[in-house]
Structure 1
Amino acid sequence: MESANGLQLSTIRIRGGYSSTSRNPKHSYRLFFRSEYGDAKLKYPLFGNEGVDEFDKIDLRTSQNHSWAFENSRRNTFLRDIFCRDLQGKSGHHFTKSRYYHIYMNGMYWGIFMTQERAEGRFGASYFGGKPEDYDVIKAMGWMKPTEVTDGTLDLYRELFERTLDWSGDNKDYFALLGLKPDGSRDPYGKTLVDADNLIDYMLGIFYTGSNDEAAAWGGRSTNNFFCMIDHDNPAGFKFFRHDAEHSMDAGWEDRTAPANDKKFRELPWFNGQTLHERLSKNEEYRMRFADHVYRHFYNGGSMTPGNSIELMSTRVNELQAAIPAEAARWGNTTSQSPEMWQRNVDYLLRRWLPTRRDKVAQQLRNRGLYPDLAPPVMRSNGAVIAQRKWGAAPGTMITLENSDNERGTIFYTTDGTDPRAIGGDISGDAIDGGDKETVVVSGTVMKARVKDGSNWSPLREILYIQNIGKSSLKISEIHYHTYGNDSGPDTFDAGEYEFLEIRNCSNKTIHLTGAAFTKGIHYAFPDNATIGPGRHIVLSANPKAFRERYGFQPFGKYFRGLDNSGETVVLRDALGNVVDAVTYDDKDPWPETVDGTGKSLTRKNLDGNADSNDPGNWNASREQDGTPGGEYVSEVDTSGDDETASANAAAGRVKN
């Protein structure tokens, strides 16, 4: 494996279950980077700006089921599994990323492979923070084999299994699994075992792609092909990951929504994401949340709309197109295993399967009671339907809500970010009765609307307002790029894990951060609904667990890629792609040199809108050791609900113990 600094050696072993048989001439592999072979880590951005740039292991997978080399299949595409995992990412979650490569072994061409991250403890530490040993990771061992712990213990997984086995489905028990009180507010003493948004989108992806070899596989006959993980010290719910989804789409099942009724799923060794989903489906609030996610991803520019699914698949097709003749020459033939057959499979997926899939699955979910017949309101501006969830609208723009897709029902909406439906199904006290049609002036950061007919509610229709953030409004206010580590105590972290960056709202108005992102230096995309209040700060960190240990509060989020100790350019852009602020700092004069490795930070002196961010004269070394993240701009923040809601509520930036 070659890194940026030249050849980097690793040890290699065969990966896979069924495909690892000696009858298979083209195996998948796992590469391990260990100090006895050279560098202990591969340091290279294998996935560009999508992911991290340090690895201690990486998989090299290739087509196995429906492959030319092993199964002499006419269905080979190299696309189904990677599309399923890409789709999890497009749905707003961490996923195991891949890139295609030609591989040569001992000088001989061995065909097309793809790198793939492995959802184990190292992955958890890289993307969620902490250390690899902080994570419990559970995986399926293979067909008709029980699950296995690959990192940590089974304790929290067993607790989740026991608490949902034969449970009543009442709100108290459901919200407790989410770390909430019965009224849905955050429980400071609660234990979060379920990340409902991750679980719902994981299962929705399986249903949408018809993947019949994941979770409760092959009609619920066995657990197979899944990974899940949780930080056992700071549990934020188990995260489930799509894995090995070759038996999907046109090679999967037309209707994947049937429950897994085999009695083995009442036993811990066979417990998986699908059985958890089916247990939680007893609860009305979970089912409503599931329906909301169906609507979010199936319509209004969501990840599973026909157009966006075709675009996602086409991106991978374009990467493969020129490489397929080489694979066919090495492992195929001139008829059923040829570039022409590959193209016919691709055309079927792009022209027939994906264009019709959404509507089929929506009806399947209706048949299972997981998606209502009652449609949400239609939203229009100047007579045209608003076909996006994230919409650029200036304050004062008029939006018309219409109950035009239903014969009955009443519109209820809010403009303060709350749900018009209260827990339990009543109308929220903040909801406004919109009748059958209502015109509303754009205000705040989001509009949320539903239709209510008797005791039935439609899925949630929401519009998140995105905006051009003026350069004078939001500034990078503190950069802690080179500090010191911790070599003592129960938790030891390298120096880079304590680094952070702070931004400040310099205006007198709340700023919407939906769609805003750091795109150079560090990489971080702000979550939907995120805002920052007037005069407030938001702090992002390299490792939230290390940050909390040293600075005493929870940062707003975790960024990827460390701040360069020698200096670099950091760029913040708004949802429209405009540069909001950019700083090119250095560790040499005229920039303050006393911050380089001493524990002090770069702190902005002048936050005036016309001040040059790249002028060293506008920056000082902090007076305090460890800098001043959050400064005096501190407020208690409600972090109730899921991660997305918590991020949105943390408008002040700093979340105290």
Structure 2
Amino acid sequence: FTSEQPVTITIDPESTIGRPATPSVIVRTSASRPGYKPAIPASRTYIFAEKVKTQSWPGGNWPSMIINGQLIDLDMDTEVVKDPNYSGQIVSSLLGIPSISIITDMRNLFDPASGIYVNATGHGLEWERECSTELINPDGTPGFNVNAGLRIRGGWSRNDDFPKHAFRLFFREKYGNDKLRYPLFGDEGVKEFDKIDLRADQNYAWSIGSPNNSMVREVFSRDTQGDMDQPYTRSRYYHLYLNGMYWGLFQSQERSEARYAESYFGGNETEYDVVKVNTENNYLVEATDGSLDSWQKLYNMCQKGFSSNSDYFKIEGKDENGKPVKGGEIMVDLDNLIDFMSVIFYTGNFDSPTAVFMENKKANNFYAIDNREDRSEGFTFYIHDAEHALFDEAHSPGIGLYEDRVNIGRRQDNLKMEVSDLSRFHPQWLHFKLSDNPEYRIRFADRAWKHFSDLGVFSPDSALKRLNKRINEVDPAIIAESARWGDSKRTGAPYTKYNNWIPEVNKIRNRFIPLRTNIVIDQLKQAGLYPSIQAPVIRTQSASLNETDVILASPLSVIIENPNSSGTVYYTINGTDPRKVGGGVNTGTLFSLNDINLDIKASTQIKARVLSDSKWSALQQVNFIDPDEDYTDLRITELHYHPPDLISGPDTIDGQDLEFIEFKNVGNNSINLGGVIVDSAVLYVFPEKTLLPPMQIYVLASKPKKFFNFYGMLPSGNYQGNLSNAGEEILLNDPAGAEIIDFVYDDSSPWPSGADGEGFSLSSAEINPAGFPGDFSYWTLSVVKDGTPFADNVIAEVIPPDAGESGT
């Protein structure tokens, strides 16, 4: 109806005059005026939970059975709704989590020629339809109401024998909102989105008749990647209503693509390459954003192999000794790759990043993202669609609890992993080829030891805590999902919460999680990716301190002991690894055949390994952090305040982009820089728990990407603003605001003029300076043009330290 005046509408859920008998009433409005385009429609959904219990075919233009072979299932199952175990809980289940309502023209869904639900294999903009979508929070807090584009999402689940399809929402200006501006994931994620997925469990879903529905397998894997401090995609649970009909339990998910990368990592979406598998095109690898050029380059490196250190370290832009080189390029974030593969190995995911369904010969279910304009980062990898995971029993072709995804490259049967060409190249093949190099194997072993330890993400306690968090979130909604889809494709009793869901999640938490950790450790040992000897134990008289940050309230007596029957403990307190590249002992490393007793009175970083029969244990590291730090030994040792503009090929590098400030710890103990602030011409806050070990250096740069491209090294941090070419104040304060360093530099005589746009930096005249940096005599010119970041001002090779890192 129309009205020229504001109107009040009374909604009677019992009335079906002018509408189908859906359990929700939808009010959709627009405004118009002669000579103007109609306003973009707005919608509101009013859900009557009691009515949802009796949902069935509502009449009107709703389909009743099958269109284009697509099964249409609309009913709530009366066996569940009337079951005494559940009948009194249906409404509370519907109100247990937030709801999303999608409203669109019925033809957009079910028209035989153009409806996306009954032509679910359709892809692209051609198969996007206008809709309105609302978030309705049961506690009454504000949600959102926006117009969007709607598509079907998924791969195999697009087939018409899947009655419950997943969706993707696109936010575009033509619909009224160029972005969704809402904190979908609270403080966990960004607050603006170009698109969002509404995924549904598919491979083991009640909607396709599977008894193994858990609603937690897939998201557990992505949560684990996030708990490893790696980038990941976030999710929340929702009930979904489609044109007023309850459609069951869904899950929001971010999409790993260029816009996601721009949101979390900065830059512009056009700078990113995104690599994934096209399941609609014979599982060929493709670039959904950017190109495959860098992926091709990485594949070529794999073809050559990584057995030599020169080939291995090249992937990180380093020379054969593991030292950065000018002009180097980081092709892969190796720690990210290791952690990605560790999630695959632990969960027993047999469908990613290669699939046993395809005899481990084709790629599947992974995303890789790289900023091609930034040579300092390389590809990162993202867990995706991890439903074939966390099984304690065999589910063909998976074998359950003892699933071994670690050693598929060494199998001697038809399931041996192989990659024939670029179109099949995936991150596990990259990992497999890298494993030929001992430096990669020790790096993998170090991270595996950390993550599979008693405090690691794969310890039974940590894994169970992560799993239970998701179980507790989705638990309130399971009864409603059972009533909606528990009878789908069933001739017998429907799947229910107590008979099916709880036993299924209990298999994961009572059998898989308690046993899986040690099973995977054995598999990693077989592959040479887990040390055969145990790492040192760092402890007090009463407690283990392994892999922790210890806040020093008072002096602490610490013991480093060897838990093995043989071998020698090697340790350092200067920030370096006891093991050097090639397997020898690093310079400055201390050792003992017996237990080591240390009295820790100041900030200290201990790194320790056991060496036995030429085999190293994993690295054990503990940071002792003094909250009342003494900054007496912190010095500023280099200031590149006026780099000249430079010509590099066809490009000009703005000199401001190469500015940097260098600090050095000239003392004998580590310095806790956490919370220290550079607050003057430029601004930088040192991250919490940042330790700078003795004689190590911390470099702040104006533009990290430009710094890496020019120097071949990553700066320790990135300050905001720029230094004045004419001189100004440099102020360093402790977390309480007390002054640590405060001086003014100058570009006029008697200050060294060569630092003022002539290519040299201001460098401390002494290697370990003791004077006042506001005095010109404190400074000299760098021994080479462009300065010597991460190094003393002497003619020597530049080696960035293993310093300034967090203890975790």
| Smaller-chain TM-score bracket | 0.7 to 0.9
What is the one-letter code of the residue matched to 1:103? L
Q: Which amino acid aligns with 2:379?
A: F
Say whether residues 1:103 and 2:223 are aligned partners: no
Q: Look up the SS of the partner of 2:318 in the other structure.
A: coil
Could you tell me which amino acid in structure 2 is paired with residue 209 of structure 1? T
Q: Assess, with a 3 A threshold, how the Cα gap between structure 1 residues 304 and 516 changes in structure 2: closer, same or farther.
A: farther
CA positional deviation for 1:88:
0.5
Segments of 5+ residues of structure 1 without an aligned counterpart are 474-489, 492-497, 518-523, 564-594, 596-602, 614-631, 640-644, 652-657
Q: Is 2:599 the partner of 1:447?
A: no
Counterpart of 1:269? Answer: 423
Question: In structure 2, what is the Cα distance between the partners aligned to 1:102 and 1:515?
Answer: 43
* Secondary structure of the corresponding residue to residue 169 of structure 1: coil
Change (3 A) 1:33 1:172: same
Aligned-pair RMSD on alpha carbons?
A: 4.2
SS of 1:216's partner is coil
Cα distance change on mapping 1:196 and 1:609 into 2, 3 Å: closer
| Cα distance between partner residues in 1 of 2:517 and 2:676 | 29
SS at match of 2:404: coil
- 1:236-251 matched pairs, under 5 angstroms: 236-250=377-391
| One-letter amino acid of the counterpart of residue 162, structure 1 | N
Name the counterpart of 1:61: 199
1:256 aligns with 2:256: no
Does the CA-based 8 Å contact 2:570-2:608 persist in structure 1? yes
Q: Displacement of 1:396 after TM fit?
A: 3.7
Question: 1:211-268: CA deviations, max 9, x gaps?
Answer: 0100122151321000001111113121011100000011655222123475850311
Amino acid corresponding to residue 609 of structure 2 in structure 1: R
1:122-143 per-residue CA deviation (whole Å, 9 max, x = no partner) reads 1111222211111111101128
Cα distance change on mapping 1:537 and 1:454 into 2, 3 Å:
closer
CA distance in 1, matches of 2:626, 2:249: 43
1:638 has 2:790 as partner: yes
Q: What does residue 73 of structure 1 align with?
A: 210
State the match for 1:402 in structure 2.
Answer: 561
| Equivalent AA in structure 1 for residue 496 of structure 2 | S
3-state SS in 2 of match to 1:214: coil
Instruction: Give the CA deviation at 1:26.
Output: 1.0
Counterpart CA distance in 2 for 1:282 and 1:51 is 37
CA spacing shift, 1:60–1:525, aligned 2, 3 Å: farther
Which of the numbers 485, 490, 496 marks the counterpart of 1:338? 496
In structure 2, the residue matched to 1:15 is 153
Of 163, 170, 180 in structure 1, the residue corresponding to residue 308 of structure 2 is 170
2:232, 2:630 → 1: CA distance? 33
The CA distance in 2 between the partners of 1:378 and 1:532, in whole Å, is: 21
Q: Which residue of 1 aligns with 2:465?
A: 311
Distance (whole Å) between structure 2 residues aligned to residue 376 and residue 610 of structure 1:
38
How many residues in Structure 1 have an aligned counterpart in Structure 2? 554
Q: CA deviation at 1:384?
A: 2.9
Determine helix, strand or coil for the equivalent of 2:374: coil
* 8 Å Cα contact 1:204-1:294 kept in structure 2: yes
The 1:421/1:192 distance shift into structure 2, 3 A limit, reads same
Greater C-alpha Rg: 2
Q: Distance in 2 between matches of 1:605 and 1:167?
A: 49
In the TM superposition, what is the alpha-carbon distance from 1:649 to its structure 2 partner? 3.9
Instruction: Evaluate the alpha carbon distance shift between residue 513 and residue 124 of structure 1 in structure 2; reply closer, same or farther with a 3 A threshold.
Output: farther
**Is structure 2 residue 533 aligned with structure 1 residue 374?**
yes
Report the alpha carbon displacement of residue 638 of structure 1 after superposing the two structures with TM: 3.5
Q: In the aligned structure 2, how far is the partner of 1:149 from the partner of 1:428?
A: 43
Q: Does residue 1:233 correspond to 2:373, yes or no?
A: yes
The CA distance in 1 between the partners of 2:624 and 2:209, in whole Å, is 51
| Counterpart residue type for residue 181 of structure 1 | D
- The structure 2 residue matched to 1:432, chosen from 565, 590, 595, is 590
Query: For each residue in 1:454-484, what CA deviation from the matched residue of structure 2 results, as whole angstroms up to 9, or x when unmatched?
Result: 21111111113345468999xxxxxxxxxxx
Q: In the alignment, residue 790 of structure 2 is paired with which amino acid?
A: D
The within-5 A match list for 1:139-154 is: 139-142=276-279, 144-154=282-292
CA contact (8 A) 2:536 2:620 kept: yes
Query: Matched residue of 1:215: which SS?
Result: coil
C-alpha displacement of 1:532: 10
Q: Give, in whole Å, the separation in 2 of the partners of 1:277 and 1:466.
A: 35
**8 Å contact kept, 1:390–1:466:** yes
C-alpha spacing 1:158/1:32, structure 2 compared with 1 (3 Å): same
Q: 1:222 to 1:611 in 2, by over 3 A?
A: closer
The equivalent residue for 1:351 is 510
| Structure 1 residues 345 and 204, CA gap change in structure 2 (3 angstroms) | same
Give the match's secondary structure for 1:448.
strand
Q: Which residues of structure 2 form unaligned runs of 5+? A: 1-132, 136-141, 411-415, 633-649, 652-656, 678-684, 722-728, 740-772, 780-786, 792-798
Alignment partner, residue 172 of structure 2: 34
Q: 1:6 to 1:112 in 2, by over 3 A?
A: closer
Query: Residues 528 and 648 of structure 1 are in contact (CA less than 8 Å); yes or no, is this contact kept in structure 2?
Result: no
Superposition TM-score, scaled by structure 2 size = 0.62
Q: Report SS of the residue matched to 1:220.
A: coil
Give the direction of change, closer, same or farther, for the CA distance of 1:527–1:214 in structure 2 (3 Å limit). farther
- Quick one: distance in 1 between partners of 2:473 and 2:168? 23
Q: 1:321 and 1:276 mapped to 2: Cα distance?
A: 39
Distance in 2, matches of 1:606 and 1:452, equals: 42
The answer as to whether partners of 1:466 and 1:514 remain within 8 angstroms in 2 is no
* Partner secondary structure for residue 235 of structure 2: coil
**Which residue identity is paired with 1:348?**
K
d(CA) in 1 for partners of 2:347, 2:800: 30
Relative to structure 1, is the Cα distance of residues 16 and 467 closer, same or farther in structure 2, using a 3 angstrom cutoff? farther
In the alignment, is residue 213 of structure 1 matched against residue 373 of structure 2?
no
* Deviates most, 277-286 or 451-460: 451-460
What do residues 629-651 of structure 1 show as CA deviations (whole Å, max 9, x unaligned)?
xxx99996439xxxxx9897468
CA distance in structure 1 between the partners assigned to 2:134 and 2:686 by the alignment: 29
Paired amino acid for 2:476 = A
Give the counterpart of 2:447 among 293, 301, 314: 293
d(CA) in 2 for partners of 1:220, 1:73: 24
Change (3 A) 1:453 1:472: closer
Which residue does 1:329 correspond to in 2? 483
- Secondary structure of residue in 2 paired with 1:140: strand
Give distance in 1, aligned partners of 2:693 and 2:146: 44
Whether 1:123 and 2:260 are equivalent positions in the alignment is yes
Q: CA deviation at 1:209?
A: 0.5
1:586 matched residue in structure 2: none
**Does 213-222 or 280-289 show the bigger shift?**
213-222
For 2:617, give the aligned amino acid: S
8 A Cα contact 2:531 2:617, kept in partner: yes
Quote the offset at 1:5 in angstroms: 8.4
Identify if the C-alpha distance between structure 1 residues 558 and 217 changes in structure 2 by more than 3 Å, giving closer, same or farther.
Answer: farther
Q: 2: distance between equivalents of 1:444 and 1:466?
A: 5
Q: Which amino acid aligns with 2:254?
A: E
Q: Which aligned pairs between 1:501-650 and structure 2 lie closer than 5 A?
A: 511-512=671-672, 526=687, 531=692, 637-638=789-790, 649=803
Letter of the 1:373 partner, please give it: S
The CA deviation at 1:171 is 0.6
Moved more, 160-169 or 17-26: 160-169
Any conservation in 2 of the 1:410–1:433 contact (CA below 8 Å)?
yes
Q: TM-score, normalised by structure 1?
A: 0.75
Aligned-partner Cα distance in 1 for 2:733–2:552: 27
